[in-house]
Structure 1
């Protein structure tokens, strides 16, 4: 049976531009603003494990590397049922302001917290029409730098290396980007922990001061590091990691806007989307973003071990690349002005 409000723990936070009041600890230490109606997360009754796809209009479906299937459907009452096979069923109410988590019998609630803090809130944001990237991001001098890619490509590792050398964490794994066509795209603050795979978990040892870590329900190591506090940071650049495990060279290659949009779309935060409206919305937003924010492929010497000054080298290369982008744009603007005068 569902717990009463008195029995349930209450965790409040702000994630991806959303104020959240939750019965499950989402392990995000960002205070909510209390100026808007929150999204509530409640724990419902447990459910038995099943392989049956729920009834409704299928909006997304994919199978994990371990062979488990996730199926998301829109139901007749306007709500969405997100079934994570052998883990939980999650219901998002029609107004996208209420989430109810039904854990499969015997599965700990902490696993539900992992899914809600990442996949479920990403899907909710997309239902609201927001742009969501599969990316981690850091704050360097008041500007956000994002690392985009599919799972295992190194985006969290690069964010960790940057934070090791003084950057502040903006988010991990989910990046919500906002901004109209006249302003700079801006990033909402997200996760306050970096979820490291086993191959990169030793990076946590570099944070003996100012960092703490814990095991997660999905067998990763969650590292708490100094986090950014300024919301809506301008997004300066997006980097697609390309780890080089056999060399020491570091290089950034600018991706032309059209190709950049296709690259970003190839790393969706929600896999297997079938909802045409959602696909069209993400396509239009990503295309616009790629036209306004430089996207680079980052060839990076990889570890472990990672060289001590890798983050500094990467940031220097990025500053040089951004200077080139700005110079190119100034030339284009001058050419357009000259053409208009002629």
Structure 2
């Protein structure tokens, strides 16, 4: 159900999961999916029997840092610097969120980092990338932090294209290669946020790095998978916009750098098979362009033109 006065949902979808909860959410899409129970908790951690499996260290260019612990039953305890502790059980499809954390930052974090653990448990390939819909298919933009993934997705939104993901993209590589839409959210840097019209987004808050923009209900759509039409690997160059085709094998190292994975030989093998299949099946380009907001619209036009040639 949805409260029309606040545009807050108690039910909706994200990355193919349908949230069942008494908690109110701002960034869900329409449709149905695998049931995901979201509840409150007040635990801290870690506790005996949990081992550290992933750690994100704070960097000069990125304030976020966090740690993931796992117990012998496969349950995760995740600590994030901006929202506290989350308890994630992929087998039971449950996430417990910190009861006393800031509601906005908690939800922004919920639909990113904890969902990575559910995606891995489902056998998906989560990539550090944004994605948009062009003519019924998904186009993915991959690159490291500060390379404009979210800004480019926002430019596509301004041009009338649906944003599927802005930082983490869920790719399923099976009989088909598809993208499952994530949260209806754009986290845009303060220095470029004012360049985008607000008619189809709602400014719901900010932190010291970014503004949080909720996509309008009309532009969200549902979480049905879309065929992946192509991958653009973001590069920067002051001389102009170029699209340079990558041979599949030459994209594997880039995909490996973009892929989230847990430690262990079995997990590394799983991810490697996924990215080699992805490189074989989907066209890949280097998207070279200046990191300048004045080049955003021409970049959108070049990408759309290239995708429509396929």
Q: Could you state the TM-score of these two structures normalised by the residue count of structure 2?
A: 0.84
Residue 289 (structure 1) shift? 0.8
2:188 pairs, out of 191, 196, 200, with 196
* Equivalent residues, number: 298
Q: Tell me the residue number matched to 2:270.
A: 281
Q: Deviations over 1:126-175 (max 9, x none)?
A: 02221211221111111111111222211111111122222112222222
Q: What is the aligned partner in structure 2 of residue 18 from structure 1?
A: 17
Secondary structure class of the residue paired with 1:152: coil
The answer as to 2:230 corresponding to 1:237 is yes
The 10-residue stretch of structure 1 (297-306 or 123-132) with the greater mean CA deviation from structure 2: 297-306
Which one of 75, 81, 93 corresponds to residue 77 of structure 2?
81
The 5 A counterparts of 1:101-250 are: 101-102=97-98, 107-181=101-175, 183=176, 185-204=177-196, 207-217=197-207, 219-223=209-213, 224=215, 226-229=219-222, 231-244=224-237, 246-247=238-239, 249-250=240-241
Alignment of 1:252-267 (within 5 A): 252-267=243-258
Among 73, 89, 93, the alignment partner of 2:89 is 93
* Counterparts in 2 of 1:54 and 1:122: CA distance versus 1, 3 Å: farther
**Inter-partner Cα distance in structure 1 for 2:153 and 2:64:** 29
Distance across 2 between alignment mates of 1:221 and 1:67: 15
Determine if the alignment matches structure 1 residue 268 to structure 2 residue 267.
Answer: no
Deviation string, structure 1 residues 96-145 (Cα, Å, up to 9, x no partner): 41111236x7x423322122110110121102221211221111111111
Distance between the aligned counterparts of 2:104 and 2:199, measured in 1?
27
Q: Which runs of 5+ in 1 are unaligned?
A: 1-8, 323-342
Q: In 2, are the aligned partners of 1:41 and 1:101 still within 8 Å (CA)? A: yes
> Does the CA-based 8 Å contact 1:150-1:268 persist in structure 2?
no
Structure 1 position 292 matched with structure 2 position 281: yes
TM-score (norm. length: structure 1): 0.77
Alpha-carbon spacing, 1:87–1:229, altered in 2? closer, same or farther (3 Å): closer
1:267-315 Cα shifts (integer Å, max 9, x gaps): 2346xx4233333222211111111011111012332344644311332
Specify the SS of the correspondent of 1:310.
helix
Most deviating of 253-262 and 276-285: 276-285
**Cα separation, partners in 2 of 1:157 and 1:16, compared to 1, 3 Å:** same
Say if 1:306 and 1:252 are closer, same or farther in 2 by CA, change over 3 A.
closer
Task: Describe the SS at the equivalent of 1:166.
Answer: coil
The CA deviation at 1:251 is 0.7
- Alpha carbons 2:30, 2:221 under 8 Å: kept: no
Query: Which whole-Å CA distance do the structure 2 matches of 1:230 and 1:44 have between them?
Result: 27
* Aligned residue number for residue 4 of structure 2: none
Unmatched tracts of structure 2, length 5 or more? 1-7
Give the Cα separation in 1 of the matches to 2:82 and 2:225: 37
Q: CA RMSD in A?
A: 2.8
The 2-side partners of 1:194 and 1:67 are apart by 18
Any conservation in 1 of the 2:182–2:223 contact (CA below 8 Å)? no
Q: Residue in 2 aligned with 1:5?
A: none
